[in-house]
Structure 1
Amino acid sequence: MPGKRPLNAAVIPGAKRERKAITLDIKLEVLRRFEVGEKLSQIAKALGLAVSTVATIRDNKEKIKANSQIATPLRASRLTRHRSAVMETMERLLHVWLEDQSQRNVPLSVTIIQEKAKSLFDDLQRERGGSSQTEKFSASKGWFVRFKERHFLPHFNMDGTAPGNKGVYPEVLRSIIEEGKYTPQQVFNVDETGLYWKRMPEGMFISVEEKAEPGFKPSKDRLMLLLGGNAAGDFKLKPLLVYHLENPRSLKGYSKPNLPVIWRSNKKAWATRSIFQEWFIYFFCPAVEKYCAQNHLTNKALLILDSAPCHPVNLGDLSDNVRVEYLHDSAADSVQPMGQGITSIFKAHYVKRTFEHILEATDGEDTATIRGFWRNYSIMDAVDNVAVAWEELRPATMNSVWKKIWPECVHFQSVSQTDNIAQLQQNIVTLAKNVAFEGAVEADVDQLLRSHEEDLSNEELMQLEQEPVGEGESEEVPPALRQLTTGELSAAFSHFEAGLQVLTSNTPDAEWKVQVSRAINDAINCYRELYEERQRRSKQLS
């Protein structure tokens, strides 16, 4: 009938949904991405496929490759042509470097990224004896655009920078504090920092001997810490520690909830949105509530953050008692309290405590040698020393760093004498000499403290490809995850995908779609990895 709207599958109950054809070249692209180390969820997002579809393609790898071999010669050559191993490795390491820069909120440009890519490519060629190879790489802008597409980096604009954060400036923040009637005890700031937990000053013989040994260097082993406290300086939060192993051998027999840190793991020892959100809900909010009750304060708080990618934008919606404000990008580095020396002072205390630990272990008769002690110095020793170092920071120091962002709350205009960096460096040198490091000088200690904040070098990026030695992972599996079956996990993923489809299909803003998709996938990634591990084990058993 004229004017009658045509019927379609959307309005006819039970109508079959049109199936999306997956061509051979798409299947080969999925397999190529698996071979270079991309995760299942990343591939699904990049190619616009369902996670289950990508998993099916992966499981039928041999059959798909066999089909590609019997294709016409022209088609087969076009579909199976791969870039060189050096190029693939360079892009994978560059992606790691970009994520590290993003974690630390470092501004980037296309030029900086191009220069890093070119230097990585050249170093990889040299390492693999590529001086005689003819492959050239110029890191052009065209390559950068394709690199973004291959590695799904929509959070970088065409100029290479992350989208600007619409955060508040310090003057606006002070009006928020006044309006909310927050006291210095109720205003908090936290920040992430990296720590090479087994690194010694360059000139000391332990460091020199380590460089002479082949393979992965323990001094390259890094962990991430989330440190913070309130503006009054009288309450320091329990540190969150993120390591690349969930169950290192040295933690066997310890109860993680009873550790002096909150222990979490991530393959690259980074804080993710899901880790940060879990910390906010299950650790920060309860800690604030307990602190306010003990000090007869109203249960409310203001949390000030920078706009690091690991800080979810929806934190303020997750608590009725905690307000979250993000500093504007242009102001964050210069005014954020935890960035005004707290992390540097903490690391100086950590190095000092490490030398005290060596002295205690090697002083006296029938004790370990320095080499023997350091060989057995484990991540558990580091955890204990992190706790001691964090406890060393005085309330005066924790309060004094707020003078740039909220000067009215500051009662101590300078850091405590015990937290003075210069004095701490002198103490470290004295301890080192007592331990028999006669060549210890303050310049080496200063360089060590600065090295924790340096960019990942090409050498360190290449060493991330290797498996660290000395701290293997035990076979212990968290009991909460062990109870989930593959059927239950598969059903949960279906619900997540259906919900994500509803959210993204009704959201016109492309940036919001990306943020929502990434946040949800980050949150359930640990369950996807568990599901994949269960499938692999099932195949091995069969």
Structure 2
Amino acid sequence: MERRKSKTLTLCERIEVLKKLKNGQSQTSIAREYGVNPGQISRISKREHQLLGDWRSNRNPRRKRKRAGKAEEVEEALLRWFSQVRSRQFPVSGPLLTEKAGQLAGCLGLTEFKATVGWLERWKRRNDITFKKQHGERQDADDSGAENWVVSVLPSILNEYAPRDIFNADETGLYWRAIPDGTLAFKRSTPTGSKASEERLTILLCCNTDGGEKPEPLVIGKSKQPRCFQNVKRLPVSYRANANSWMTGDLRKQWLKDLNTRRRAQKRPILLLCDNSAAHNAPVRLSRVKLVFLPPNTTSLIQPLDQGIIANFKAHYRALLLRRLTGLMDGQTGDNKRAIELARSLSLLDSLHLQKEAWNRVTQATIIKCYRRARFVKDAGRDQTNAATASVADQQAADIPAGVSKEQFHRYVAVDCSLQTAGDSTDVELCACKQATAADEASDQMSSEAPIRQPPATFATALDGLSTIRAYLENTGCQSYERFYRLADLIYETQRHRSARRTITDYFKKAK
């Protein structure tokens, strides 16, 4: 009797088997369809969680067996490094990979490891890596990779999680003191410019599919304790600092742990989509947050935040910034400062408040629309086609200040769109070694501004401010005082919580 040749399904075929099982098809019929033993279908069903994890981590779809090399830790670290450098379009050769593998092995303490040509070829086959000639000078989005992810991975995500439990998080750079670079002028005059402000921050934004939840932004600056933070009990956003104002693996891990803690308190697991940048590859254990990484070079096509949410946030921020600067110019009595000088007077604390207000102004409808463009809603074809036009329309939804054209405002919003938000992972981080970052802490201390002692605002000064605001509203013929009354209620309520409970007679005891 001729022995039947055994057949092993690829990772892609196993994912298809899981879909058929979920649709109610029997294991026997699936085994007959693929020409395999029913026991293999049963083992696939039991390993569903592991297989889906490998698939979402963009493992080789043609892989049949998960073979570990002679140094699995080195292979994992080298794969993370390869993804990191290729995300920046750096050309990688075989000799460079073997040299880097040797360095990573040394970092891991594997002194006997040797990266041979045969080992490298097997590592490339296991991770579906092949040589390709570079064309052109521009980094192109991977349309086929994005389409494959949308067709093969996204449906399982949408089936397992409700829209309110699917989140996307991403960083963006912000020149927080930048002003527009053009102006209307008389034909005979020559407008003088000034050096554009490049004081930068990195902001992490996060929201869910239905737009119902927008966790407060995480802002990363250079100074650990700016003097404008003095006497401030609570900032409007989460704030962290390092020497480059970049997202790092440690900052990212802490943010994820805080997010996980909040979800554990709510007893609510969520799925978090993010790109595969260097800062996102830091290993972290989470019980209520499931991380799913998008394929390389696809974020401009399928990441919801890149479909207009970040652009809409920046449009609101820059509109609020220009409104503030215009108000300062209108309120000048004799000190005629230029716009760039007024922008330099803006403190980091002022900017954080503007960022918080701008994030609040990003509407639920805008978020849903951007998730639809990213194909998270089935009727996404029309929005995907018009994504670029709609993104500009979202920016124009912000209150564009008078005197700034739509084209100029669009250019102003995009001034920092390509700003780097994270540095490359070090060999220690690639190898997931836990080492203290004393050097980073020292650089934070050096970059901190020296605090200047200034008296804190008191309840009495707040009441004086209320009187000034009310007088201004009365003199200008204000039609409604409702917002002013709410501001007064907020100040009195804050003072009531701070002070001890007293009776009216307490204020007359000293007069006896």
Whole-Å separation in 2 of the counterparts to 1:363 and 1:285: 46
* Equivalent runs, 1:87-486 vs 2, <5 Å: 106-110=87-91, 169-178=149-158, 180=160, 182-204=161-183, 211=194, 219-255=197-233, 258-282=234-258, 284-289=259-264, 293=266, 299-315=268-284, 318-364=285-331, 366=333, 369=336, 371=338, 373-403=342-372, 404-408=374-378, 421-422=392-393, 424-425=395-396, 431-433=401-403, 440-454=404-418
Judged with a 3 Å threshold, the aligned counterparts in structure 2 of structure 1 residues 261 and 512 are, in CA distance, closer, same or farther, namely closer
Whole-Å separation in 2 of the counterparts to 1:261 and 1:331: 29
Letter in 1 for 2:217: P
Whole-Å separation in 2 of the counterparts to 1:530 and 1:362: 35
Larger Rg: 2
TM-score when normalising by structure 1: 0.49
Letter in 1 for 2:299: A
Letter in 2 for 1:192: E
Contact 2:392 2:410 in 1 (8 A): no
In the TM superposition, residue 383 of structure 1 has moved relative to its aligned partner by 0.8
After superposition, the C-alpha distances for 1:190-222 in whole angstroms (9 at most, x for unaligned) are: 0010000011111249xx7663xxxxx571111
Whole-Å separation in 2 of the counterparts to 1:423 and 1:277: 32
Whole-Å separation in 2 of the counterparts to 1:365 and 1:512: 50
Letter in 2 for 1:202: D
Q: Which has the higher contact order (CA 8 A, sep 6+)?
A: 2
Contact 1:347 1:449 in 2 (8 A): yes
Whole-Å separation in 2 of the counterparts to 1:522 and 1:306: 26
Which shows bigger deviation, 518-527 or 446-455?
518-527
SS at match of 1:520: coil
Judged with a 3 Å threshold, the aligned counterparts in structure 2 of structure 1 residues 367 and 249 are, in CA distance, closer, same or farther, namely farther
Judged with a 3 Å threshold, the aligned counterparts in structure 2 of structure 1 residues 386 and 160 are, in CA distance, closer, same or farther, namely farther
Whole-Å separation in 1 of the counterparts to 2:439 and 2:228: 26
Judged with a 3 Å threshold, the aligned counterparts in structure 2 of structure 1 residues 452 and 160 are, in CA distance, closer, same or farther, namely farther
In the TM superposition, residue 425 of structure 1 has moved relative to its aligned partner by 4.4
Letter in 1 for 2:240: R
After superposition, the C-alpha distances for 1:285-330 in whole angstroms (9 at most, x for unaligned) are: 234456xx4xxxx511011111011013533xx2222111111114
In the TM superposition, residue 520 of structure 1 has moved relative to its aligned partner by 2.8
In the TM superposition, residue 185 of structure 1 has moved relative to its aligned partner by 0.8
Whole-Å separation in 1 of the counterparts to 2:278 and 2:132: 18
* Equivalent runs, 1:454-533 vs 2, <5 Å: 454=418, 515-517=429-431, 520-521=434-435, 525-526=439-440
Question: How much identity, in percent, do the aligned residues show?
Answer: 21
In the TM superposition, residue 424 of structure 1 has moved relative to its aligned partner by 4.7
Judged with a 3 Å threshold, the aligned counterparts in structure 2 of structure 1 residues 193 and 230 are, in CA distance, closer, same or farther, namely same
Contact 1:362 1:368 in 2 (8 A): no
Judged with a 3 Å threshold, the aligned counterparts in structure 2 of structure 1 residues 313 and 325 are, in CA distance, closer, same or farther, namely farther
Judged with a 3 Å threshold, the aligned counterparts in structure 2 of structure 1 residues 360 and 353 are, in CA distance, closer, same or farther, namely same
SS at match of 1:358: helix
Give the structure 2 partner of residue 480 of structure 1. Answer: none
Judged with a 3 Å threshold, the aligned counterparts in structure 2 of structure 1 residues 153 and 426 are, in CA distance, closer, same or farther, namely farther
Judged with a 3 Å threshold, the aligned counterparts in structure 2 of structure 1 residues 319 and 367 are, in CA distance, closer, same or farther, namely farther
Letter in 2 for 1:183: A
Contact 2:166 2:270 in 1 (8 A): yes
Judged with a 3 Å threshold, the aligned counterparts in structure 2 of structure 1 residues 427 and 227 are, in CA distance, closer, same or farther, namely closer
In the TM superposition, residue 413 of structure 1 has moved relative to its aligned partner by 6.5
In the TM superposition, residue 384 of structure 1 has moved relative to its aligned partner by 0.9
Give the structure 2 partner of residue 477 of structure 1. Answer: none
More helix by share: 1
Whole-Å separation in 2 of the counterparts to 1:312 and 1:279: 14
Contact 1:361 1:368 in 2 (8 A): no
In the TM superposition, residue 171 of structure 1 has moved relative to its aligned partner by 3.3
In the TM superposition, residue 237 of structure 1 has moved relative to its aligned partner by 1.3
SS at match of 2:280: coil
Whole-Å separation in 2 of the counterparts to 1:405 and 1:427: 25
Q: Unaligned stretches of 5+ in structure 1?
A: 1-98, 112-140, 212-216, 434-439, 457-510, 534-542
Whole-Å separation in 2 of the counterparts to 1:373 and 1:530: 27
Contact 1:170 1:327 in 2 (8 A): no
SS at match of 1:401: helix
Whole-Å separation in 1 of the counterparts to 2:436 and 2:369: 36
In the TM superposition, residue 178 of structure 1 has moved relative to its aligned partner by 4.8
After superposition, the C-alpha distances for 1:104-147 in whole angstroms (9 at most, x for unaligned) are: x8531349xxxxxxxxxxxxxxxxxxxxxxxxxxxxx9xx979x
Q: Unaligned stretches of 5+ in structure 2?
A: 1-80, 106-129, 135-141, 185-190, 448-512
Whole-Å separation in 2 of the counterparts to 1:289 and 1:249: 35
Whole-Å separation in 2 of the counterparts to 1:375 and 1:233: 34
Whole-Å separation in 2 of the counterparts to 1:381 and 1:197: 10
SS at match of 1:444: helix
Contact 1:185 1:232 in 2 (8 A): yes
SS at match of 1:304: strand
SS at match of 1:188: strand
Contact 1:358 1:370 in 2 (8 A): no
After superposition, the C-alpha distances for 1:247-303 in whole angstroms (9 at most, x for unaligned) are: 222222223xx2121111121111000000001102x2234456xx4xxxx511011
Contact 1:194 1:224 in 2 (8 A): yes
Letter in 2 for 1:382: S
Whole-Å separation in 2 of the counterparts to 1:209 and 1:378: 25
Contact 2:172 2:419 in 1 (8 A): no
In the TM superposition, residue 426 of structure 1 has moved relative to its aligned partner by 8.4
In the TM superposition, residue 454 of structure 1 has moved relative to its aligned partner by 3.3
SS at match of 1:234: coil
Judged with a 3 Å threshold, the aligned counterparts in structure 2 of structure 1 residues 334 and 519 are, in CA distance, closer, same or farther, namely farther
Q: CA RMSD in A?
A: 4.7
Contact 1:348 1:449 in 2 (8 A): yes
